Structure 1
Amino acid sequence: MRAHEAGALHGDIGNRGPAWLRTPDDVNALVPQLWPRNVTRGADGALTVAGLGVRDIAAEFGTPVYVLDEDDLRSRCRDFQAAFPDEDIYYAGKAFLCRAVVRMIAEEGMFLDVCSGGELAVALAGGMPPERIGFHGNNKSVAELTRALDVGVGRIIVDSFHEIDRLTALARERGVRPRVLIRVTVGVEAHTHEFIATAHEDQKFGFSLAGGAALSAALRVLDEGVLELRGLHSHIGSQIFDTSGFEVSARRVLALQAQIRDARGVELPELDLGGGFGIAYTSQDDPAAPHDLAKRLRKIVDSECAAERLATPHLSIEPGRAIVGPAVFTLYEVGTVKDVDGIRTYVSVDGGMSDNIRTALYDASYSATLASRGSVAGPMLARVVGKHCESGDIVVKDEFLPADVQPGDLVAVPGTGAYCRSMASNYNHVPRPGVVAVRNGRARLIVRPETEEDLLALDVG
């Protein structure tokens, strides 16, 4: 491993690299952009969140546990609302969804995007008004579409000709006219991991723009007249920092909008540019603030609409990771510490790839810090690993931790609000952790941890 790579991954040391790590204060410091806004170190060096110490959280709820700073999440909702006051902001529920989070985002005036019948069920159970729900997915079943129509979901993003036919038949049977958007695959190569780039041509989502399928889909919906075509939708991927991909996407989608106008004399009133806005997982990441994103996206859309002589459509976006990702950290307990021939030190914690698959799946980078106390020891290069029977069970690939880390210490990993609990598994029959929301010095369980009884309840023998 190159030296600058180790420094780039640290959750505490900023961008200055390992050569800067000379004192215990260096390795105990926190980089604010990586942590929920209400996380600090107390006088004893232990982390607190919203006034509550992590040792108290671990004592009451056990570890591993996802810790949500509720006011942080709410403040990020408000930041997007302030930056996009005239647009619709759909929280992308796939990042993390539970009834408590649904209530939080609903109270903050957000819309909600779901992509399965299960997410729709949670959205409804959490009290989200159906008309503020959008329904995504490349293979929605008849049962899922039926429920969406019956409860009055606000919009459905159609993804295939089969879905158009299926939804048209269901709507005709019920005498309803659901609002739909056409998901367009624009051929943009987003600068992100292959598995989370969603707008290049060779993938499962949407209607191809280059091959003409997107135009054909829009014309079919308009000509049949059963579904109400509100607009076009484009989503180019996830964990994106460079807005140039959004510029290319908007240009191509709005060119399609002009083609539809020219073919049928209809200007579609809405445009959804998707989400995928990146967050800081390490000190090397530099995400844009919501108001900067808003300024850039509006400029892109206004420019392209002027070029195509189109009225500016009503915009919507779908941030998920950018709202919940930084608002959560995972708290682990150290079980073993093992030096491997001076190469690196392995710090094993009581979770792993079952509560955070992203490192193994996407080669994602995370940071970590000693959370239960301060330390006067110097830094050591460590790898934070889990307890699963896989050599790839890595939580944090490389991190500087105090050299006196020992069994029983608590380690916290920030930025785990998105795609950690929602992608968690029971690999090795390990129960999934719970989720605790903290506000004003008080913690409450919003998703209880699984037990062995839960695992056995589904095993019918």
Structure 2
Amino acid sequence: MYLHGTSKINSKGHLEIGGNDVTDLKAKFGTPLYIVDEDLVRLRCREYVAAFRESGLTFQVAYASKAFCTMAMCRLADEEGLSLDVVSDGELYTALQAGFPAHRIHFHGNNKTVEEIEMAIDAKIGCFVVDNFIELHLLNAIAAEKGQRVNVLLRVTPGVEAHTHEYISTGQTDSKFGFDIGNGSAFEAVRVASDLASLELLGVHSHIGSQIFEVEGFQMAVERVAQFAIRVRNELNVAFKVVNLGGGFGIRYVEGDTPLLVSQYVKAITDAVKTHFAGLGDILPEIWVEPGRSIVGDAGTTLYTVGTSKDIPGVRKYVAVDGGMTDNPRPALYDSKYEAMLANRANEENIETVSIAGKCCESGDMLIWDLELPKVISGDLLAVACTGAYNYAMASNYNRIRRPSVVFVKDGQADVVVQRESFDNIVGNDVIPERMKKVAVTQ
């Protein structure tokens, strides 16, 4: 398993993250356990800020909280000077409860409810990313009722298909997101938004997908958005102050993944902006980006305890752990691949091929197929790397399994940032109707 950030093998042959032996973390916090390398998260934040400063452009780096949203993560993003993207009232509430400055919050989503819009306007967030005409008029009406004028970006689809899984590719024409540049709806949206009295049109937003390893897609998106911006200025006399180029920067999950350095992604984008927006004159728009996975993904490790195994001679050996698709649904959803190791016996030679099964009552609850490990025994600790993004965020209570705890580790310290769910949490929202309650039997 590739060791990211502060991860290393200590003198005991145990995996250590943030100065913490994972066997000690298991003893203190139990398993499954999400472990987040705080230093690595902060390093990624700083890499983005430094790369944009190097470009000389005016910018905002907004952490895409959908990747991993907790109050502690929102606080960390604020401490590192990032803005924040949210896509629901729950994410917005989390950010506000963490004390994140509302003026640096951007609200995304293709189907914002009236309640969500009202909550965001009342909080005086920095910007709405508007996805469709219905939302455009609804937002204007609600803002007018509240006597406010709100900032908006229009999400546009530039017709760029990123080389990624079809479920996380969003920049192509056939997408549920945004106004399409190619068919004219984006141009019409600019015209309409410019005439709505309670909206301040800042510019446009473009996002082409996720887990992208090359820069050509981003460069093409910049070119098409620039061409659109020039047309809008020439024909509608509307100038974009802000161009949000989204996120989607890839990380290394397994051998063969070839992500670029943060600085390489940023340089390719900013160079393309300088080239293609030159037709607008001396003043370039402010550039926003929205990294999520590339900030938290490789900083996360999930620790499991091995339970049972099943050896089918000549076919496969299954090794079951105490988690699975409830804490990591990505293999089932996207056929995602991961690397893992026996964290308590990290220096031992790999001698068998096993497949890691979860404990859910589903044949599809498989975390890793065909993993090389030492001889696995019950009680071993399995560490799965790069689980910082979209694992906790997508976790569920299927089979009424309790969601794991999350700890931030740094300099030998481990702090719980999400408590492990209790049985009371599991039934906390359940209600038994009066007609179904047991009636005491009298003799």
TM-score bin, normalised by smaller chain:
over 0.9
RMSD, aligned α-carbons: 1.3
Q: 1:319 aligns with which of 291, 296, 307?
A: 291
Aligned partner of 1:122 in structure 2 is 94
Q: Shift of residue 135 of structure 1?
A: 0.4
Name the amino acid aligned to 1:81.
V
Pair 1:429-2:400 in alignment: yes
Aligned partner of 2:211 in structure 1 is 239
Q: Is the 8 A contact 2:350 2:372 kept in 1?
A: no
Identity %: 46
How far apart are the structure 1 equivalents of 2:373 and 2:413?
28
Name the amino acid aligned to 1:214.
A
Aligned partner of 2:419 in structure 1 is 448
- Superposition map of 1:46-125 within 5 A: 46-85=14-53, 86-125=58-97
Q: Shift of residue 264 of structure 1?
A: 2.1
Pair 1:294-2:266 in alignment: yes
- Superposition map of 1:26-425 within 5 A: 31-32=2-3, 35=4, 37-85=5-53, 86-306=58-278, 311-402=283-374, 404-425=375-396
Name the amino acid aligned to 2:147.
G
SS across alignment from 1:337? strand
Q: Shift of residue 203 of structure 1?
A: 2.1
Q: Shift of residue 377 of structure 1?
A: 4.1
TM-score (norm 1): 0.90
How far apart are the structure 2 equivalents of 1:160 and 1:184?
10
Q: Is the 8 A contact 2:31 2:404 kept in 1?
A: yes
Q: Shift of residue 309 of structure 1?
A: 5.6
Aligned partner of 1:5 in structure 2 is none
Aligned partner of 2:441 in structure 1 is none
Tell me whether 43-52 or 153-162 shows the greater mean CA deviation.
43-52
Residue deviations 1:211-258, cap 9 Å, x none? 111110111011223211001100011111111111221121111111
Q: Shift of residue 180 of structure 1?
A: 0.4
SS across alignment from 2:67? coil
How far apart are the structure 1 equivalents of 2:274 and 2:396?
44
Name the amino acid aligned to 2:406.
V
How far apart are the structure 2 equivalents of 1:411 and 1:338?
17
SS across alignment from 1:274? coil
Give the direction of change, closer, same or farther, for the CA distance of 1:377–1:224 in structure 2 (3 Å limit). closer
Give the direction of change, closer, same or farther, for the CA distance of 1:75–1:348 in structure 2 (3 Å limit). same
Q: How many residues align?
A: 428
TM-score (norm 2): 0.94
Q: Shift of residue 339 of structure 1?
A: 2.1
Residue deviations 1:375-411, cap 9 Å, x none? 5444322211101111111111232111x11100000
Give the direction of change, closer, same or farther, for the CA distance of 1:55–1:141 in structure 2 (3 Å limit). same
Residue deviations 1:299-338, cap 9 Å, x none? 1112211356684211010000000111110000000232
Q: Shift of residue 84 of structure 1?
A: 1.4
Aligned partner of 1:22 in structure 2 is none
Residue deviations 1:42-100, cap 9 Å, x none? 11211111211101101111100100111111111111111112420000000001001
Aligned partner of 2:435 in structure 1 is none
SS across alignment from 1:257? helix
How far apart are the structure 2 equivalents of 1:376 and 1:368?
14
Pair 1:438-2:406 in alignment: no
Q: Shift of residue 186 of structure 1?
A: 1.5
Q: Which runs of 5 or more residues in structure 1 are unaligned? A: 1-10, 12-30
Q: Is the 8 A contact 1:356 1:421 kept in 2?
A: yes
Q: Is the 8 A contact 1:198 1:205 kept in 2?
A: yes
How far apart are the structure 2 equivalents of 1:378 and 1:137?
45
Q: Is the 8 A contact 1:267 1:310 kept in 2?
A: no
How far apart are the structure 2 equivalents of 1:398 and 1:188?
35
Name the amino acid aligned to 1:127.
G
Give the direction of change, closer, same or farther, for the CA distance of 1:366–1:374 in structure 2 (3 Å limit). closer
Q: Shift of residue 171 of structure 1?
A: 1.4
Q: Is the 8 A contact 1:132 1:154 kept in 2?
A: yes
How far apart are the structure 1 equivalents of 2:317 and 2:306?
13
How far apart are the structure 2 equivalents of 1:262 and 1:377?
66
How far apart are the structure 2 equivalents of 1:212 and 1:275?
24
Give the direction of change, closer, same or farther, for the CA distance of 1:174–1:395 in structure 2 (3 Å limit). same
Q: Is the 8 A contact 1:255 1:308 kept in 2?
A: no
How far apart are the structure 1 equivalents of 2:396 and 2:424?
16
Q: Which runs of 5 or more residues in structure 2 are unaligned? A: 433-443
How far apart are the structure 2 equivalents of 1:116 and 1:59?
35
Aligned partner of 1:460 in structure 2 is 431
Structure 1 runs (4+) greater than 6 angstroms displaced: none
